[in-house]
């Protein structure tokens, strides 16, 4: 096939996603019907074959894809954010841009949580669940995943310590604990590492061009090397995405979706409104950009975010697309997107608000308007501190539940469907970062329309 006729990467990723869903659906159907395969004189149930395929084929392939993405996230964040800050020119510019980012984050996250609040109070997804279904869901509140999330929620820190820990004593340790946390680690995590990167970028600016030139050259080379590795990962993406989606689809049964259907519908509706209405309004009114052309330009980002369920894993793709397809200045996009991967998670804020109110309704805990406003504020703040990795919001939901008097073990009820919702809210998180970068980019440094396909 000629290069011109070759399917584009987003199309190949989408086909991989659809293939994963279809194969998992076939496997679950055969398992439910009791089919078996005769192999070596023995009958092997289809359910056992599905489990084996998930554990020994899909899981390793999916992990290889994610690991290829994650292995360069730390050096890419370091080089991109430091260069982004240095490229802004001076600390006053950094401060002004930081103020714009904060205002934009409050605006977008506030809108998302209010959307969730209105939807959950209108449709009341936690009410009207039959007792048998309620008992079935409650069985999920005891398990290793629930206990792990509750233990993480108990490790919350006072606000003063959160601020002090944001200034890293050991940035290498902070970075190392991003994806494989040490239970004894009590540092500032990704926020501390981001602050370190910003300080390095500011230092590059302050020492002058001549002295900082070797460091800038090194960081630029490091950034290019990271993007090359990401290129290898994206070439493997159709297979990795198929494997990840197969895992998710094979583990989640339709019965759970039926019982939690109203809750799922409310969350997805809220995310869709945030994505299509709030973001479109921000693009049109603030950035003076065409929402249709904007969304067409970032299709690859949307598919990558949905399939990986990780803002951090999607960051390299977001950086490349925002600069080459959306036309954002490199310094602005590098700064906003790396900070936004942790600090601007509108989809997570919406999801956390809806989930807390849903579980309050489920357990019959009445939350008055004051308590609901508390949930709104805490969801916005929690969205800032959520780790940009799959399932990173679950411990924070447990913390929010404890604050408003709802049994924190209730997170077990939604764990079964969280993967689907995680994939969906990651899309909103990542797109929100690019929308925010578009909103705060200087009008004289941004192209009028997204760059066309090559």
Residue 262: how many CB atoms within 10 A of its CB? Answer: 16
Q: What is the mean pLDDT of residues 275-287?
A: 94
pLDDT score at 389: 47
pLDDT band at 325 (very low <50, low <70, confident <90, very high): very high
Residue 5: how many CB atoms within 10 A of its CB? Answer: 6
Fold of 61-445: 1.10.3860
**Which distant-in-sequence residues (6+ apart) come within 8 Å of 35 by Cβ?**
45, 46
**pLDDT tens digits, one per residue of 402-437:** 777 777 667 767 766 777 788 899 999 999 999 999
Q: What tokens does 309 get?
A: 């369920």
Task: Please give the Cα distance from 242 to 257 (Å, whole number).
Answer: 21
pLDDT score at 1: 47
CA 317 to chain centre: 13
CA distances from 399 to 179, 186, 409 (A): 21, 17, 10
Note whether 197 and 338 are within 8 A (CB): yes
pLDDT score at 439: 92
**pLDDT tens digits, one per residue of 117-136:** 899 999 988 887 666 666 65
Domain boundaries, the chain: 61-445
**Could you tell me the pTM of the whole model?**
0.70
Q: What is the mean pLDDT of residues 17-41?
A: 84
Higher-pLDDT residue of 166 and 258 is 166
Note whether 343 and 432 are within 8 A (CB): no
């Amino acid at each position: 096939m000629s290069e011109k006729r070759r399917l584009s990467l987003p199309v190949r990723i989408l086909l991989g996603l659809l293939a994963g869903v279809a194969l998992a659906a076939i496997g679950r159907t055969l398992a439910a019907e009791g089919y078996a395969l005769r192999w070596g004189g023995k009958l092997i149930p289809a359910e056992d074959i599905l489990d084996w395929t998930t554990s020994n084929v899909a899981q390793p392939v999916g992990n290889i894809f994610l690991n290829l993405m994650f292995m360069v996230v730390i050096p890419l964040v370091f080089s991109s954010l430091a260069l982004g800050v240095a490229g802004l020119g001076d600390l006053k510019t950094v401060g002004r841009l930081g103020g714009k980012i904060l205002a934009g984050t409050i605006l977008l996250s506030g809108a998302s949580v209010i959307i969730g609040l209105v939807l959950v109070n209108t449709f009341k997804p936690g009410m009207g669940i039959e007792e048998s279904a309620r008992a079935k869901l409650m069985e999920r509140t005891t398990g290793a995943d629930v206990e792990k999330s509750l233990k993480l929620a108990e490790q919350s820190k006072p606000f003063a310590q959160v601020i002090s820990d944001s200034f890293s004593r050991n940035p290498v340790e902070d970075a190392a604990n991003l994806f494989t946390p040490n239970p004894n680690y009590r540092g500032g995590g990704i926020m501390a590492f981001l602050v370190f990167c910003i300080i390095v970028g500011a230092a590059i600016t302050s020492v002058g061009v001549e002295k900082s030139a070797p460091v800038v050259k090194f960081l630029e080379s490091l950034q290019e090397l990271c993007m090359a590795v990401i290129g290898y990962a994206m070439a493997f993406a159709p297979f990795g995405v198929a494997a990840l989606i197969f895992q998710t689809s094979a583990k989640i049964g339709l019965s759970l979706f039926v019982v939690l259907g109203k809750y799922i519908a409310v969350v997805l509706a809220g995310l869709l409104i945030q994505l299509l209405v709030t973001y479109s309004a921000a693009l049109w009114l603030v950035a003076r950009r065409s929402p249709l052309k904007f969304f067409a330009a970032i299709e690859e980002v949307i598919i990558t975010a949905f399939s990986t369920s990780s803002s951090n894993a999607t960051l390299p793709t977001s950086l490349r697309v925002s600069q080459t397809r959306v036309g954002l200045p490199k310094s602005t996009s590098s700064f906003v997107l790396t900070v936004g991967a942790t600090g601007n998670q509108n989809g997570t804020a919406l999801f956390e608000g809806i989930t807390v109110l849903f579980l309050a309704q489920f357990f019959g805990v009445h939350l008055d308007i004051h308590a609901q406003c508390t949930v709104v504020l805490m969801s916005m703040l929690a969205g800032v501190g959520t780790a940009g990795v799959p399932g990173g919001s679950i411990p924070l939901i447990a913390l929010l539940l404890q604050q408003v008097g709802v049994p924190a073990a209730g997170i077990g009820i939604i764990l079964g469907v969280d993967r689907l919702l995680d994939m969906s809210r990651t899309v909103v998180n990542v797109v929100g970062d690019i929308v925010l970068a578009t909103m705060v980019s200087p009008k004289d440094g941004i192209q009028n329309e997204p760059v066309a396909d090559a």
